[in-house]
Amino acid sequence: MNIKEIISQMTLEEKAGMCSGLDFWHTKAVERLGVESVMVSDGPHGLRKQDQEVDHLGINDSIKAVCMPAGCATAASFDRELIGKMGESIGSSCQHEKLCVVLGPAVNIKRSPLCGRNFEYLSEDPYLAGEMAASYINGVQSKNVGTSIKHFAANNQEHRRMSSSSNADERTLREIYFPAFETAVKKAQPWTVMCSYNRINGTYASENPWLLTDVLRKEWGFQGYVMSDWGAVSDRVAGVAAGLDLEMPASGGMNDKKIVEAVRSGKLDEAVVDQAVERILTINEKYFANAKPDTPWDKEADHLLSAKIAEQCMVLLKNEGVLPLNKADAVAFIGEFAEKPRFQGGGSSHINCFKTTSALEAAKAEGLNVTYAQGYSVQQDAATDQMIAQAVEAAKAAKVAVVFAGLPDAYESEGYDRTHMGMPASQNALIEAVAAANPNTVVVLHNGSPVEMPWIGKVKAVLEAYLGGQAVGIATVRVLFGDANPCGHLAETFPIKLQDNPSYLYYGGEADEADYREGVFVGYRYYDKKDMDVLFPFGHGLSYTTFAYSNLRLSSSEITDQDTLTVTVTATNTGKVAGKTVVQLYVGDKESTVLRPVRELKGFEKVELQPGESRDVTFVLDKRAFAYWNTQLHDWHVETGEFAIEVGQSSRAIDVCGTVTVKSTVKLKKHYTKDSIFMDLMADEDAVRVIKPLLDNFRKVFGGGEPSSEAAAEAVTEDMGMAMLNYMPLRGVMSFADGNTDKSMLEDLLKALNEL
């Protein structure tokens, strides 16, 4: 298909029409020119394909499909290969269902535990989110089906999401909220990008040329088309000009007419419309050229794959020797989630599963000695006295009691945020009662984001299952009974209480203004900087074996910001069973002129080791591993200095560390004024040479010579004098130079300084 030739034959009305959907899920066709319609589907952890009564919040039924673990779970796997296989499975199902694009992955940063959509998102850390997203995208697109990475950008709350302005400074956007998208674009080239509902510093994402054109296309090299989130368009003409190619869903022709009118009035260049149409048709043609509707979709096989993925994602938060369970022991499964697990979130990603397997069902299929007590009612959000009494009796009769708890559907969903970080009071009361009845109590959590755990000191073990997909029951039983060794690690910090979260005071904003006042200090970047106690740190995850890291080696002790540094560490399984460990590499600037986190994740690898086995793990760090976003340069910048290289099993469990000196090849141009203080001048070696005569004179005034009396010596010591000099502006020379300095001399001094 010669796309440019086809576009040249389209009428302006046809071209404008191509820039919006035909209906809720399809793009438009131009039959007279052979342009076919394509269909997209909600994702990202399975297909929510709707053919009949359509909606965007999962209210109406979609086709029977397979629900894989949600983003909150898959990110905890820290396993690029695993999430790539999940993407391949979803890509194949898209081919079977004649779908051009699956809407995902969702990579918005977890700024607060309250975000109602956190269950879809990957991490509080942009490096981890970007790496996992790129692997998912490459997996899906290896099947010649597109993805739509979302929601670009700074969409970190559901509250007022269609009108609120995410107000963040340049450095915060570049270091925290952009990198996951940037990594995915550069490493995987998603076929499409979905812009978010919100405004960014006052401008809607759907009509933001800096966001959609300057950053996404010109800087990062994005090649596909940009689509709107459903209903995210405010000003369609401004959106086309900014780089928003496809409006979804259909606008009933209203916005198509506005595009036509804008072109005919000269307000919008028709070439911009042509470009948008070309981008859309290029992606559509890529799908049609490789469409394989005869691709088989083995849902049963995918069900088992979903279970395999889920077991690799579960995080063992706590274990005081009670896990793994002995298959010969009597075990009580307590809590409605054991029979009816919560395994996905509400809203547009909600999958109509062709089957589910609960933990109770899986245990019975294995012939395990398991009894069941409901414990609480999700529908009533309550635990009656009778329910708790039955649960206590079941717990007393068993060797181990396993309470299945977490957050009901109503607690977290697309469309609204949580109001607190607590679990239902009924479930907390149940856990307390069961733990009092049986000292060997285990809690399995089904939730999409962190919860407070007031009972944490009263239970022997906690297994975070997150929202593990439709086969979560199989995975849970395998992990509990030791057929699978837990190997997930937290992709987010669990604070002790909500008030500890760095965005607590500002989250949600005032009216339609949401200020990101915590800046770059999101998640562990904040908690580690404050050395604050947390419930469980970022990267934390236990195993049924133990691991140790040793023998850290750096390829050099000194590099420039143009070089790479190779870091090698030895990982050893020091326990008695095989297991997987996530080797996490963090980098921290030991002394910086800007506020920076203590450490930032810059590398990770998941490694499987047999008992006693050791293996070297290697990382390669480039400039970005050491850089911060410099708002003077509007670019990434590395300051000359020492950087800590730390390798550990979480951000709070560092096993080995080393130091490398990085030299900057970029000299920042400094501009001095009469208000520049001497401390800043003296930090600049070149400036010191210019002001040396002044420094010598001030040392005489503030610190030189013999004091006239003992009282004078106590009043102004040499240290005190130099401290006063540090904070004195350059204009101070006019006041402390005995009339020997005039305005022209100060101007000459500034000229010399600014010519350095």
Q: What is the DSSP string of 37-93?
A: P-BEEE-SSS-B--SSS--SSS-S---EE--PPPHHHHGGGT-HHHHHHHHHHHHHH
Q: Residue 404: name the closest of 420, 379, 423 by CA.
A: 423
Query: For residue 509, what are the CA distances in angstroms to 6, 17, 172, 450?
Result: 47, 37, 17, 21
Mention every residue, 6+ apart, whose C-beta is less than 8 A from residue 459.
318, 403, 431, 435, 441, 442, 443
List Cβ neighbours of 696 (8 Å cut-off, separation of 6 or more).
Answer: none
Note whether 100 and 21 are within 8 A (CB).
no
| Cβ atoms of residues 29 and 52 within 8 Å | no
Extended strands (E) in 532-665: 547-554, 558-560, 565-573, 579-589, 600-609, 614-621, 628-630, 635-637, 641-650, 653-663
Q: 527: how many CB neighbours lie within 10 A of its CB? A: 24
3-class SS of residue 495: coil
From 126, 151, 123, 146, select the one nearest 136 (Cα to Cα): 146
Cα(317)–Cα(709) distance, rounded to whole angstroms? 66
The DSSP code sequence of 435-472 is HHH-SSEEEEEE-SS----TTGGG-SEEEE--S--TTH
Q: How far apart are CA 205 and CA 232, in angstroms?
A: 8
Residue 26, Cβ neighbours under 10 Å: how many? 16
How far is the C-alpha of 605 from the C-alpha of 565, rounded, in Å? 17
C-alpha span between 358 and 473 (Å, rounded): 4
**Could you confirm whether 483 is annotated as catalytic?**
no
User: Which residues share a beta bridge with 405?
Assistant: 445
**Annotated active-site residue in 42, 229, 302, 417:** 229
* 630, 598 contact by CB (below 8 A): no
* 572, β-bridge pairs: 548, 614
Please report the DSSP string for 339-368 in residue order.
Answer: TS---S-BSTT--EES----HHHHHHHTT-
Among positive and negative, which fits the CA dihedral 654, 660, 661, 664?
A: negative
Categorise residue 129: left if φ over 0, alpha if ψ from -120 to 50, beta otherwise: alpha
Residue 341 makes CB contacts below 8 A (sequence gap 6+) with: 356, 358, 359, 404, 446, 468, 472, 473, 476
- Taking a C-beta distance cutoff of 8 angstroms, is the pair 621, 567 a contact? yes
228-258 burial, b at 16+ Cβ within 10 Å, e below that, comes to bbbebbbebbbbbbbbbbbbbbbbeeebbeb
Q: Looking at the DSSP assignment, which residues form a beta bridge with residue 149?
A: 193
Three-state DSSP state, 534: coil
Note whether 157 and 514 are within 8 A (CB).
yes
Indicate the length of the chain as a whole number. 756
Cα 46 from Cα 94, distance rounded (Å):
9
Residues tagged active-site: 229
